[in-house]
Chain A
Amino acid sequence: MSLKTRVSAYTLAVALIASTGALAQKAEVLHWWTSAGESASVKVFADQYTKAGGTWVDNAIAGGANARAAGINRIVGGNPPAMMQFNTGKQFDELVTNDLVRDVENKAKAGKWREIMPKPIVEATVRDGKFFAVPINIHGQNWLFYNTKLFKDAGVEPPKTFPELIAAGEKLKANGVIPLALGGQPNWEHNLFRAVLVGNGGADLFRKVYGSRDQKAAKSPEFKEATELFGKMRALVDPGSPGRNWNDAAALVITNKAAMHFNGDWAKGEFTAAGQTAGNEYGCTIVGKEPRIVIGGDVFVFPTTKDKDQLAAQDKLADVLLDPTTQLEFNKKKGSIPVRLDVDVSSMDVCAQKSAAVLKDPANQVEAMELLSTPNFSGAMQDAVTQFWNNPNMSADAFVEKVVAAMQSAS
């Protein structure tokens, strides 16, 4: 069935249910999953909710920032959707402090969420001892995807540390390929920086910089070392990088033009769409002294409501989202791994299995920037990183000064 017929059949099904069952719990869901892989994954939720007897009203808004702005406006304006997506982290903090979203603590207790989910995810969702959102997945943000053929041609092994990566990059360059494909937009440059910081500087340094904004940590030799390694990686990137979209960067690896690409595990979707499988045409690994994975993900929040039907719909949604089968199917399509670490992942791809295995050890779970820092401070850091990356003449010390300034001024 083509996508179009599938979508229309689906719409028809929804319309039929909507017209027959006035009792069916209608739930409008606001999210920003609009790409092909993303909408396929959200359809898993929709189908499961429909199966559970509810009516899913899909409200997809392209672009995370747009969707959040639209959703927040509706929540503040008193006309909220039944459920709304956020990234795991601080994006919905003020909605909690203003009593605009419901807590789901009773569901969390019943489902033992604290036991089955990684601690960083739990901490990022719990406020004042209560869950205020349903975490649904774990995305690893610092994966290195590499082209196995180009690695073999150049005679290099997948690098284990960043100095190794830079040495491998030189060899690849000598072999006539782009060593590192980078989407040259500020947020991807920043993502690369964070991969270097956590890999070379360690989890504690990462937490001190992004979490507690420790100025001493920013002035430490470890931070400077990570910065200098990051700076050296400029030489591994092709001149066409500035402004490039991340999926175009991934495409360079897929088409054998570039050997390496740092990204979150959502990039797997691009490889899959090109008919490649993990472990064959491409590999994935975590670079660093220890295999620390920077984890984030998505959550759904339930805006406060007095409507009994809406409350019941929200309860049902919470159950559906965390059902083990739903979790497995959703995350296979999304490229992430189940937020419940008790789900058997042996049917997932090798990257997901590797991810789940590494994350079994709590020491390897590192909170993503979105979990540690406010959007405002993340933004200020991004401004500093993109200035450093794009200006080869800027010294590591000058960068440290900018980071310290960001720590002082950002709210």
Chain B
Amino acid sequence: MAIVSIPNAVATSERPAKSRRINRTRLPAALALLPTALIVLVVYIGCMLWTVRLSFTSSTLLPKLDWVGFAQYSRLFMNDRFLVSAENILIFGVLFISGCLILGFLLAVFIDQNVRAEGVFRTIFLYPYSMSFVVTGVAWQWFLNPGLGLEKLVRDMGFESFTFDWLVNQQMAIYTIVIAGLWHGAGLTMAILLAGLRGVDAELWKASRIDGIPVWRVYLSIVLPLLRPMVVTATVLLAVGVVKLYDLVVAMTLGGPGIATEVPAKFVMDHLFERNNIALGTAAATVMLITVVAILAPWVYAKYIRPQGRPA
């Protein structure tokens, strides 16, 4: 909308002085925003449209602008690997977001009890977040590898029958990704929720103590609703992480064993860059985009569009 105001500024010399003054002060701002607006339009939106367009072509190594209709999409939905990827991202998304929120909230509440050496705990809990997903993935790969890590350690301690082979077990491998993700993300959620907890009015606590409400009940029924904006922030950040999930899988399992831990982003990357199949890759990317939009649309509608339509 910044762009729209530029021709306005030039063409409004006939208007009253007041609005001209506003426009004159807005002009530099509009100019300053212009590059950003252009980048958003051309690079982000443009590339998005380009991606969608390519998904209707038969492009392989280089983009080709023919038209094959929905052929790539029908191929995509018959592809075992894509279907497994879609299922995995659902499992990961639900467990990762809810797990991080629960764990993060519990950690925040724990630190909120005025524990001693709070700074130390805060650092410890937040520390994993400073690692890249690649480091996280490799570390957990070593730790969960049956021949190197936890299983071997416990067996060497004398428990010969101890088995923890989730990493190499097709049914369970995706949950090891969730575990590594939780380890990585819970700290950030804790930090966000802790900031919220610190903002809760002390009077509320006093009042509830007088009323004799148990502490857990206060957290659950009074504090948590107050933290709604923080929870939303954390959820959005975590959800972005879910859609982007790629490097953790590559570092930890490379999509294996078999195709058990494949995720959509990896499907897109592999087909774009390794398998010279731009069309199928962009089709998968488009499906990801549509899914994200479909999830976000009701929320955006409820938050921004509906209130405006309602009579004041």
Contacts and interface: CB of A to CB of B under 8 A. Distances in A.
A405 B83 CA distance: 15
B262 to A, nearest CB: 9
A95 B273 CA distance: 15
Given A72-B61, A94-B62, A379-B275, A185 B147 contact: no
A390 B276 contact: no
Nearest to B78: A409
Interface string A219-249: 0000000000000000000111111000000
B256 A184 contact: yes
Given A239-B165, A409-B75, A390 B257 contact: yes
B interface, over-half SS: loop
Interface residues of B, number: 37
Contacts of B270: 379
A387 interface: yes
Contacts, number: 97
Interface string A378-394: 11000100110111000
Interface string B168-184: 10100100000000000
A257 to B, nearest CB: 10
Nearest to A239: B146
A374 interface: yes
B286 interface: no
B84 to A, nearest CB: 9
Interface string A51-70: 00000000000000110110
A390 B80 CA distance: 15
Nearest to A187: B254
A376 interface: yes
A389 B273 CA distance: 25
A242 B256 contact: yes
B146 A186 contact: no
A93 B146 contact: no
Nearest to A66: B273
B286 to A, nearest CB: 18
Contacts of B259: 186, 383, 386-387
B258 interface: yes
Contact of A240 (B62, B81, B168, B276): B168
Contact of A65 (B252, B274, B279): B274
Contacts of A238: 147
B153 to A, nearest CB: 14
B60 interface: yes
A160 B167 CA distance: 34
B148 interface: yes
B189 interface: no
Interface of B: 58, 60-62, 75, 78-81, 141, 145-148, 165, 167-168, 170, 173, 252-260, 270-271, 273-277, 279-280
27 contacts: A69-B273, A93-B61, A94-B62, A98-B62, A184-B168, A186-B255, A186-B256, A238-B147, A240-B145, A240-B168, A242-B168, A242-B253, A243-B141, A243-B145, A243-B252, A374-B60, A375-B274, A375-B275, A375-B276, A376-B60, A376-B275, A379-B275, A379-B277, A387-B258, A390-B256, A411-B58, A411-B60
Interface of A: 65-66, 68-69, 72, 76, 91, 93-95, 98, 184-186, 238-243, 374-376, 378-379, 383, 386-387, 389-391, 402, 405, 409, 411
